[in-house]
Amino acid sequence: MSAEAFGAFNKKSDFKARVVPKSDAAKTAIKEKIEKSFMFSALTEQEKNVIIDAMDQKKAMKGECIIKEGDQGDCLYVLAEGTASCTKVFAGNTDPTFLKRYQPGEAFGELALLYNAPRAATISSDDESLLYVLDRQTFNHIVKDASMRRKEKYEAFLKTVPLLETMDDYERVSLSEAFIEANFKSNDLIIKQGEPGKEMYFLVEGEAFAQIDVNGEKKEVKQYKTGDYFGELALLKGEPRAASIVAKTECQVVSVDRHSFKRMLGPLDHILKRNLDLYTKFNA
């Protein structure tokens, strides 16, 4: 990190981001993609506009290697069109392990920039793809601080969740990238009984409780505190929410959608299903 420090002759105030000429349509398209990306969620509108101006476009052919594990990283990518596969060669193995498939709107390549380290994985285009590319200098001056604060917050949080204690650092980063943050006031409904289950939630701050409605009578069936999770059973069973989750205090939660849930937490099915015994037939 020291190599990226700002000294007396390298102040943030002296930085002037590059501007890559592009049409209004291209700017709108980039904005739509970065609005969906975890990587840029902590930026102000002004900072997002700087990022949009600085981004260039790159096309990748089917099977093309976009990022190679072990290489030095000089840019970040946002996938605009197509999909890309991420693989990694873990210690003791010679063959790469498939980790995830990137969808349009997702960003990758930031780890090498955040930690000033070699690329942690290989990412290849599954088909013809369109990518938006952000240079290292603009990333460092605009995105890095906000991104580091958010990543460190959620990586530290994930280490406190017993369910995820077997995850390695890369897997925690990948999971935190999929998080969507939301805040609720006391007595707000986080999950409503009977609705389709599309996300799983982790309680970052506050307290909540599960409540079921049986013939018009509300019954509390479970309490939640910081570090607890809920909503996973509807995803596991493919059924509507069988209970409501209500904020007992002001709450901050992060959610993981069904696609990310299956991709990253699928191997934990046997642990998640233990909660079936807690709820019997009243599951959220």
What integer is the mean pLDDT of 35-50? 82
Same domain, 75 and 136: yes
| 127 assigned to some structural domain | yes
103 lies in a domain?
A: yes
Residue 15 belongs to some domain of the structure:
no
Residue pLDDT, tens place only, 115-139? 888 999 999 999 999 999 999 999 9
Q: What is the pTM of this model?
A: 0.53
| Domain-embedded: residue 38 | yes
Residues 31 and 121 in one domain: yes
Q: Domain range holding 208?
A: 178-279
Q: What is the pLDDT of residue 272?
A: 66
pLDDT in tens, 45-73: 888 999 999 999 999 999 999 999 999 99
Amino acid at 76: L
Q: Does residue 226 lie in a domain region?
A: yes
Domain count across the chain? 2
- CA 154 – CA 191 distance, rounded (Å): 22
Average pLDDT over residues 76-90: 94
* CATH number of residue 58's parent domain: 2.60.120.10
Domain match, 135 and 195 both = no
Residue 203 lies in a domain: yes
Task: Give the residue ranges of DSSP H helices in 101-257.
Answer: 110-114, 136-138, 144-158, 169-177, 232-237
Same domain, 183 and 111: no
Residue 167: which pLDDT band, with cuts at 50, 70 and 90?
Answer: confident
At residue 179, the pLDDT reads 83
Between CA 8 and CA 14, with CA 52 as vertex, the angle to 5 degrees is: 15
* 140, part of any domain: yes
Residues 6+ apart with CB under 8 A from 37: 78, 105, 106, 107
Handedness of CA 18, 21, 27, 30 (dihedral sign): negative
